[in-house]
Structure 1
Amino acid sequence: MVAGQVPVSGSIATMLSLRPPHISLSPPWRRRARLHGVPASRCVSTVAPAANPETAAASPASLSFPILVNGCTGKMGVSVAEAAASRGLHLVPVSFSSRERLDKTVQIGDTSIEIYGPSAREDVLSSVVDEFPDVVVVDYTAPDSVNSNAELYCKLGVPFVMGTTGGDRQLLYKSVQDSNNYALISPQMGKQVVAFLATMEIMAEQFPGAFSGYRLEVLESHQAGKLDISGTAKAVIACFKKLGVSYDMDRIVKIRDPEQQLEMVGVPEEHIEGHAFHLYHLTSPDDSVSFEFQHNVCGRSIYAEGSVDAAIFLYRKVQSEDPKRIYDMFDVLREGNMR
């Protein structure tokens, strides 16, 4: 069986069958897939609208500073680098790979980014800091690189945005705290999804126990290359637990098989290699009431743009010598100076 694949007759079918068959989940004019005969919401275009030249000058992206995108061997890193370049930031022409012997460059606009292996990280990053003392790093590498990369950033005093999920998160925060470095750490960089998470946290804080006794089923689908369970799903589940729901994280239905994503989840074929679908279904103890929360993302632009906003936010905090040193995307949203 393919990694991440679950039996069709298992918890997916049970979970999706909970939906009342007469409920339409998306407007009738939108093209839809079907989930076991039930209409499923589809993604709309993720292409950003053209910038308004009259408001461009007021955008926080009108400033420029050096940004090093670590992880340009992956699609997410490339997307962030492209977004940074389009926003007028200065791309530092280096990035790192988890593989030692890698002789390649990645072309982002007019910038050729040279890829270095793990053994060269400290020497190269030290040179970057010497040349660009106000550099900000954005990390989209791999879960097993999170802590070693963070320790290096903290050792050299380099502010960083950690967009990579996984790793030892407690150790990650401790590394930043002990070094007094600046960092923005978030399992989710999509601004609108973060706003949804903030809403969930507010509800959990103000109405604890509101869903006591309810059963929760969670499905998350991502491209096959995402090895870990969705950090966003974990964060939402934590809120539901505060709301009184009992849930074991091992029950998360994790979909990584393209065939299941197409046929059961309703992921558009063109986005099989880059998507994030989440479904949370709650049912009352007597089965008379159900609630459903869903957020589907196609492509990577929402995360790339959010990551650039996070880097701009962090740069401003460093320049102002803000006493707070560790931030998240909630802080970026509260600031309100995003593109």
Structure 2
Amino acid sequence: MLSLLPHAVSIVPLPHPRRGQAFLARRRGSVRSVVDEKLETSAAVVASRKVSFPILVNSCSGKMGSAVAEAAISAGLQLVPTSFSSTEKPGTTLHVRGTDIQIHDPSETEHVLSSVIDEFPNVVVVDFTIPDAVNANAELYCKLGVPFVMGTTGGDRLKLYKTVEDTNTYAVISPQMGKQVVAFLAAMEIMAKQFPGAFSGYKLEVMESHQANKLDTSGTAKAVVSCFQKLGVSFDLKEIKQIRDPKKQLDMVGVPEEHLAGHAFHLYHLTSPDETVSFEFQHNVCGRSIYAEGTIDAAIFLHKKVKSKANKRIYDMIDVLREGDMR
């Protein structure tokens, strides 16, 4: 069983979900202690690499954008005191770790971003906005020639890639910014490719728990299921058990109460046809630090590619992982 926590990957035994409540209850304390260890050493690590550049987070007013802004400061990067938001009143000032971020209306993005680029020519933009804004934002970034990390999901992805290709803009595009989760998915894909049919006949049970305002099924869960299907498992995506009820998340899943508003707990349980063999894969994420840290690594990676004038322009988190130069 592979257990994924915000800062580490470890292999530990996990009982079957029907017998796992006591185990998960015991894990709560350790999960909390791991999550409490945030980004304290990041600045020293990045400083040792002598990497520093301006980064603009669009939008700092969202929970994910705010986490990325904090991670940028912790990593010793220069957070541009400008952001955009359709939910905050224009002119509002957000305070992020001692930095005042002035909020502008999205209608001002082109004018304001052009000024930012003039003042900070080496700026990298990070996008954590809304799905409906993905394509318009990408078109603007490409028009202005600014490198960007697109962490926002949704939008017309084919159009997104074509926009970047046509303008030859540097970009990291990934719907999943958690480095360890991406590594886990990559390992699953390798296993599926190398050993097709290895789990033929096995029964698969999938449970995924996310904050209540996440209405859709986890894309990560779908990707893992796709790998198991290639491994010979018969499973319909409709069978994925979504848990969005906070009470069930507390009592059944073991999500720490303070992370009910932001978590990703996944469990994949496989049973052999005669029920004598079982396998379990689990990755539990509390909070958003794993995604924020991955985003900062992606921004640093992209900055280096721009600086070195790399021939390749479009990257994903697999490219960032392969580089190996991460915090």
**Same fold, judged at TM 0.5 (above):** yes
For 1:233-312, list aligned pairs within 5 A: 233-312=221-300
Kept in 2, the 8 Å contact 1:221–1:256? The answer is yes
Q: Report the count of equivalent residues.
A: 313
Distance 2:97 2:27 in 1: 35
2:166 paired with 1:178: yes
Once the two structures are overlaid, the 10-residue window that deviates more, 109-118 or 79-88, is 109-118
Question: What is the Cα deviation at residue 235 of structure 1?
Answer: 2.2
Kept in 1, the 8 Å contact 2:54–2:122? The answer is yes
SS across alignment from 1:31: helix
2:106 paired with 1:106: no
SS across alignment from 1:244: coil
Distance 2:311 2:234 in 1: 38
Distance 1:196 1:330 in 2: 11
Question: What is the Cα deviation at residue 157 of structure 1?
Answer: 1.7
2:31 paired with 1:31: no
Question: What is the Cα deviation at residue 220 of structure 1?
Answer: 1.6
Distance 2:46 2:69 in 1: 20
The residue that corresponds to 1:90 in the other structure is 78
Distance 1:262 1:217 in 2: 20
Distance 1:129 1:81 in 2: 18
- Kindly report the root-mean-square deviation, in angstroms, between the aligned alpha carbons of the 2 structures: 2.9
Q: 1:210 to 1:264 in 2, by over 3 A?
A: same
The residue that corresponds to 1:136 in the other structure is 124
SS across alignment from 1:199: helix
2:157 paired with 1:169: yes
Kept in 2, the 8 Å contact 1:43–1:296? The answer is no
Kept in 1, the 8 Å contact 2:43–2:74? The answer is no
SS across alignment from 1:241: helix
Amino acid paired to 1:204: A
Distance 2:169 2:308 in 1: 14
Distance 2:248 2:30 in 1: 16
Distance 2:20 2:95 in 1: 50
Distance 2:90 2:47 in 1: 40
Instruction: Give the alignment's TM-score, normalised by structure 1.
Output: 0.82
Question: What is the Cα deviation at residue 132 of structure 1?
Answer: 1.8
Distance 2:46 2:162 in 1: 38
Q: 1:24 to 1:272 in 2, by over 3 A?
A: closer
**Larger helix proportion of the pair:** 2
The residue that corresponds to 1:58 in the other structure is 48
Question: Alignment identity in percent?
Answer: 67
- Structure 1 residue ranges without an equivalent (≥5): 1-15, 34-39
Q: 1:221 to 1:145 in 2, by over 3 A?
A: farther
Instruction: Give the alignment's TM-score, normalised by structure 2.
Output: 0.85
Distance 1:260 1:20 in 2: 13
Q: 1:52 to 1:132 in 2, by over 3 A?
A: closer
Question: What is the Cα deviation at residue 321 of structure 1?
Answer: 1.2
Given the alignment, which residue of 308, 313, 317 partners 1:320?
A: 308
Q: 1:150 to 1:291 in 2, by over 3 A?
A: same
Distance 2:101 2:169 in 1: 26
Amino acid paired to 1:250: K
1:206-260 deviations in Å (ceiling 9; x for gaps): 1122122333222221222334432222222222222223333333222222222
- Structure 2 residue ranges without an equivalent (≥5): 1-13
